[in-house]
Amino acid sequence: MLFVFVDGSRAEEIESFKLIGVDGYVTLQYVQDAQMTDQPGTAARSRQAQSGFRNEIFVMTHSYVYHPNLMTLDIGGGPVLHSESFSGDSGEARARGALYNLSARATLLRDKPYTGSLFFSHLNPTVSVAPGQVLTQENTRYGFDFSLLAAASPVPLQAGFVRSHSQGRGADRLVDDRNDQFNLSASRSYGALGSTQVQYQTSHQASQSGSQNLPIQSSTASNQAVSVDTRLQFGDTRQYDLANLVSLNTQGYALGASAVPELRDGRFMLDLRVRHSDKLYSHGSYNYGHSSQGDLDSVTQAASAGLNYWPLKDLETSLGVRGDDNRTRQFVAQAHGIDGSVRYEQPLPIGVGQVSYGVRYDSRSQQSQALQTGVLGERVTLSGLAYVGLSHPHVIAGTPVVSNAGRTQTFVAGVDHVLTVVGNETRVQRLIGGRILDGEQVLVDYTYDVGGTYAYNQLDQTLSLNWNLSRYANGYFRYFTSAPRLASGSPSFPLNDVKSSIYGLRADLPFNPGLPITVGGGIEFEDRHETVSPYQRMAEDLYIQTDEPLFGLGNLRALLRRSRIDYALAAQNSDVRGYELRFWSRHWFGIDLTAALSAERDDAGLIPRQRSDGSIGLQWQERKFTLSSSLIRTREIQAGVERNRTTFQFLAKRDF
């Protein structure tokens, strides 16, 4: 007799498509951004403004085809209804209609050792490009990524390609950038010994971005880079740390019909660190670099080695040797030297005292084949009204050229930025009446004086004394001397003999006069005697802040600060005075509130300047519903030019 047993439970059916989740949001956003610039001595006023409403619905779905490990789909999108207006000195423009957001990603074999995904997105965000300035963008991005993991390959591989296009327009800024980027990386693990990673990247970018108030030229940039990074740790107690990095890079710009010389750069680095015992460490490193760009060609080599030794618990000593060789078409320079330091800490009747001494001796020589050499594309970020010094001293007057990061625009000296010289240093400073955004990165090309053929020896010494009276207060003293002595030749600029003294006191003291608060501040004085640019500097600050909410409402912090520099041989003195007020509250009647006000001014420099910033932000959240708003007001005055900018944003969002 034949018996057939049938399981009453039903086998799970395989579905060709299954939706496993839905989420998204609805937003209503309003943005208003207005800027006014007044020029000195004229009745002319420049005004630029933009405002707009955005209503956005976005729904994201999560699903799979046949099985989650076969293919997962994350697809979402929705309409964006917008109404925008732009106005400026050149006229007005309005735009309204419907846009869309779309985001899609398909991931194949996500839990397999060979997995990848395809993706596409078309988004229309509102982004901040500078304090108090917003920009409406349209970003399209698509590509793929692929991974071959260790279970399927002895060398795990990851590859990806992305093509993106960003377009946007703000009150005075246009964005139009296209970028193709391919990445390929492979890694090899040696278990507990360490690993090696090889990475290749190539990209091509075309740009027509910049200020609407300055001609924009199209530019293209290409870049290829390959690197091999090895990190090893070995020894009986893993006391040896070895790092090796090899990199090759090429970069080129084309500006319309002209081109910037292609940059070719190669680097090699080897670094070994050894822990011989708890008291003795040693290290050694070697660096090699070769860079070529047009008429500029340089080969640099540097090597160093040293020891750190703790003979006693509170006594630290170090000793090091080094040497470097720099060869260019314009000059050949060599240097070698030795340095040492000792640091000791001792408990005192009141507090703890620390003393340290460092000494460094260098012997340098240079043979010059040309009077000058150049730099192409030094990256500098100009924030607020602060200046930034160029990396090389003795810059030739009239040679610096400042352009934006994409080289689509060349900024005008005296209109967009100003160049000043203090001693050997050349400084770049943003002008508020110009076209450089606050916080924008720029490129600087310039030529500097090589210095001729000469040799010199230099002895540097540093003495530091520190007295920690308690964990709340400390005083300190620093004394530094640098004594270069010419051995041969005649440099085209004087050697800089330096003697500097710094005195300082810092305190952060908690009090509780019915409410926990902290009062603190510091004062520092520097007297620097040197051949090139002697000066005296004084810096002071004082603050008070609550450590718990004031009257149960929120926390408050107030700060006063002042910094003065008086140069003996230059007119670029400064006397910066400022204050900051900040209030923040969390869940006050269900609202998170942040308010800040700050200002600073400098009337002592060649270009008097002042700046004030005020902002207030509110956010209220109830479950999945959020309301937020912010108001930012900035005012800058520099050399008589006044610029005022006001930005207001409001956002209502409902997640689901």
Q: What is the pLDDT of residues 188-216, one digit of tens each?
A: 988 889 999 999 999 999 999 988 888 88
DSSP-derived 3-state class of residue 437: coil
Q: Is residue 2 over pLDDT 50?
A: no
Beta bridge partners of 420: 427
d(CA 640, CA 656): 52
> Which has more confidence, 459 or 148?
459
Rounded to two decimals, the pTM is 0.84
pLDDT per position as a tens digit, 415-432: 899 999 988 999 999 988
Of the ranges 158-162, 583-587, 639-643, the best mean pLDDT one? 158-162
In this prediction, residue 13 has a pLDDT band, given cuts at 50, 70 and 90, of low
Residue 192, φ and ψ in degrees, nearest 5 = -70, -15
Please tell me the predicted confidence (pLDDT) of residue 43.
59
Please tell me the predicted confidence (pLDDT) of residue 106.
96
Please tell me the predicted confidence (pLDDT) of residue 341.
98
Please tell me the predicted confidence (pLDDT) of residue 94.
83
Half-sphere exposure of 267 (CA within 13 A, CB side): 14
Q: Is residue 402 over pLDDT 60?
A: yes
The proportion of the chain whose per-residue pLDDT surpasses 70, expressed as a percent, equals 95
d(CA 530, CA 478): 16
**Buried b / exposed e along 498-514 (16+ C-beta atoms within 10 A):** bebebebeeeeeeeeee
DSSP-derived 3-state class of residue 428: strand
- Residue 254's contacts (CB-CB under 8 Å, 6 or more residues apart) are 219, 220, 221, 260
pLDDT per position as a tens digit, 238-289: 999 999 999 999 998 888 666 788 899 999 999 999 999 999 999 999 999 9
Half-sphere exposure of 130 (CA within 13 A, CB side): 24
Please tell me the predicted confidence (pLDDT) of residue 561.
97
Q: Is residue 517 over pLDDT 70?
A: yes
**Buried b / exposed e along 93-120 (16+ C-beta atoms within 10 A):** eeeeeeeebebbebbbeeeeeebbbebe
Please tell me the predicted confidence (pLDDT) of residue 133.
67
pLDDT per position as a tens digit, 384-399: 878 899 999 999 999 9
d(CA 90, CA 88): 5
Q: Is residue 525 over pLDDT 90?
A: yes
Please tell me the predicted confidence (pLDDT) of residue 643.
85
The proportion of the chain whose per-residue pLDDT surpasses 90, expressed as a percent, equals 65
Q: Is residue 1 over pLDDT 70?
A: no
In this prediction, residue 295 has a pLDDT band, given cuts at 50, 70 and 90, of confident
Q: What is the mean pLDDT of residues 100-114?
A: 92
Q: What is the mean pLDDT of residues 355-372?
A: 95
Q: What is the mean pLDDT of residues 219-228?
A: 95
Q: Residue type at 621?
A: Q
Average pLDDT value over all residues in the chain:
90
pLDDT per position as a tens digit, 595-638: 999 999 998 877 888 999 999 999 998 888 999 999 999 998 88
Q: How far is CA 214 from CA 146, 315, 400, 408, in A?
A: 42, 60, 19, 10
Six token digits for residue 319: 């000793």
Q: Is residue 370 over pLDDT 50?
A: yes
d(CA 375, CA 395): 10
Q: What is the mean pLDDT of residues 309-315?
A: 94
Q: Is residue 30 over pLDDT 70?
A: yes
In this prediction, residue 501 has a pLDDT band, given cuts at 50, 70 and 90, of very high
pLDDT per position as a tens digit, 526-579: 999 999 999 999 999 999 999 988 877 889 999 999 999 999 887 788 899 999
d(CA 476, CA 520): 16
Q: Is residue 9 over pLDDT 70?
A: no
- Residue 7's contacts (CB-CB under 8 Å, 6 or more residues apart) are none
pLDDT per position as a tens digit, 442-499: 999 999 999 999 999 999 999 999 999 888 999 999 999 999 999 999 999 899 999 9
Cα–Cα–Cα angle for 481, 485, 490, rounded to 5 degrees: 135
d(CA 352, CA 581): 34
- Number of other residues whose CB lies within 10 A of the CB of residue 295: 13
Q: How far is CA 504 from CA 477, 527, 576, 616, in A?
A: 6, 12, 19, 35
Please tell me the predicted confidence (pLDDT) of residue 131.
64
